[in-house]
Amino acid sequence: MDKPQKKPPLSGIRVIELARVLAGPWAGQMLADMGADVIKVENPDGGDDTRAWGPPFVQGADGENLSAAYYHSTNRGKRSIAVDLKTAEGQDVVQRLAASADILIENFKLGGLTKYGLHYESLRKINPKLIYCSITGFGQDGPYASLAGYDYIVQGMSGFMSVTGEPHGQPMKAGVAIADIFTGIYAVTAIQGALIHAMKTGEGQHIDMALLDVMSAVLANQNMNYLVSQVAPQRLGNAHPNISPYEVIPVSDGHIILAIGNDGQFRRLCRVLGIEAVASDERYATNKARVAHRAEVRSLLISETAKWTKTALLSACGDNAVPAGPINSVAEMFDDSQVRARGLRIDLEAADGTIIPGVRSPIVLSETPLAYSRPSPSLGEHTEEILAELNQMEESKA
């Protein structure tokens, strides 16, 4: 007999998403993938800003605009209700939703929901178990608390851009909005911790997530390098501040990545390149020595790697347990045999039959697999459905 199909881990959990753009919606999408019923509350006048952040736009079966690709990258699996928060009717709808919810995510500026009676202190009176997650640029206190937060600006303020880019070039941001994405991921971690607490005690709580806090915290070893040495780390291009050679290396037909993490790997690399004597030279034999002589190490290596093609050198490195890899375009990434085998790309069917591509969550659970049941909703697609559910729930409690 076939075993009954297990539900995703957050089945039965309801989330109200009063968030737009990326950090909040990214958290909401992660919760939706794990089975939560995520209700996205959108302004009837255009909805989430990212619906218009194109091109490219997803086209429907009849050529209609189904919102920008950006919007679809972070709103899968949700239901959309169109609500005007400026009206008493709209505020009442959100209060009713909050009464039925386990979690609320919002990314309004500090105090932005107070005037609507939708701030934490107000909603906790309606639902003491509510987990209320606020995502802002700078948190609920401090001198910057009232300022709007933008991923790009936070990447600069956090110190991230000071360690990213070529040594003599401009400080560089990341190629995606990592302050927003990291904040969304940290928010989900905090939400799940608060959810366990609520299930044990019946007590909800307020979660204060700030982009600057998150982006500063994820500098990891660069933070500790500074705190221990009192020397602020600088930009090294593609090189690593603590390991050598751990960088992009040119070959005859492009570039590859070398990620040499220990002395044994360096000896094997030198053997592959036919420069075994380099590995026994005291200037290069240890990682500490190689970091001190990183320019010389690079010069010695590239004089040899220039004789190799990408394919040949990567193959030789693989055969000799030398960590190395290609630098793929996004197209090459999706075509990579490992990415294909893991099923990273998913295709979901919209209500009109349009197939909308996406990328599954990297979370794989053996006993409670994640669910990908629907693509991103159209604006207000589920308004009537959600309101009918609310009426039914309230009638059943009466």
| Cα–Cα dist 19/116, whole Å | 15
pLDDT tier for residue 389 given thresholds of 50, 70 and 90 = very high
The two tokens of residue 248 are 């992009």
Beta bridge partners of 57: 68
Q: 2 falls in which pLDDT band (50, 70, 90)?
A: low
pLDDT of 101 > 70? The answer is yes
Please check the confidence at residue 3 and state whether its pLDDT lies above 70: no
- The DSSP 8-state label assigned to residue 161 in this structure reads G
pLDDT of residue 397: 79
**What's the angle, vertex CA 360, arms to CA 356 and CA 366, rounded to 5?**
140
Q: In terms of Cα–Cα distance, which of 298, 291, 169, 174 is closest to 237?
A: 169
Above 90 in pLDDT, residue 181? yes
Handedness of CA 243, 244, 246, 248 (dihedral sign): positive
CA distance 289 to 291: 5
For 35-56, how does the pLDDT look when each residue is reduced to its tens digit (9 = 90+)? 999 999 999 999 999 999 999 9
46 conformational bin, left if phi > 0, alpha if psi -120 to 50, beta if neither: left
Residue 164, amino acid? T
Q: According to the 3-state scheme, what is the secondary structure of 212-248?
A: HHHHHHCCHHHHHHHHHHCCCCCCCCCCCCCCCCEEE
Task: Assess whether pLDDT exceeds 60 at residue 1.
Answer: no
Q: What is the pLDDT of residues 200-238, one digit of tens each?
A: 999 999 999 999 999 999 999 999 999 999 999 999 989
Mean pLDDT score, 371-376? 92
Residues designated as active site = 180
Instruction: Give the model's pLDDT for residue 337.
Output: 95
Query: Quick one: average pLDDT of 166-179?
Result: 95
Per-residue pLDDT band at 72 (split at 50, 70, 90): very high
pLDDT at residue 26 greater than cutoff 80: yes
**149, 143 Cβ separation under 8 angstroms:** no
As to burial, measured by CB atoms within 10 angstroms (0-12 exposed, 13-18 middle, 19+ buried), residue 257 is middle
Domains of the chain: 14-218+339-396 (3.40.50.10540), 246-328 (3.30.1540.10)
CA 123/CA 130 separation, integer angstroms: 8
CA angle 302, 304, 309 (to 5 degrees): 90
DSSP three-state, residue 82? strand
Cα separations (Å) of 40 from 124, 140, 221, 380? 20, 23, 37, 9
Q: What is the pLDDT of residues 295-332, one digit of tens each?
A: 999 999 999 999 999 999 999 999 999 999 999 999 99
Q: What is the pLDDT of residues 254-265, one digit of tens each?
A: 999 999 999 999
Please answer whether residues 344 and 357 qualify as being in contact, where contact means their C-beta atoms are separated by less than 8 angstroms. no
Contacts of 201 (CB under 8 A, 6+ apart): none
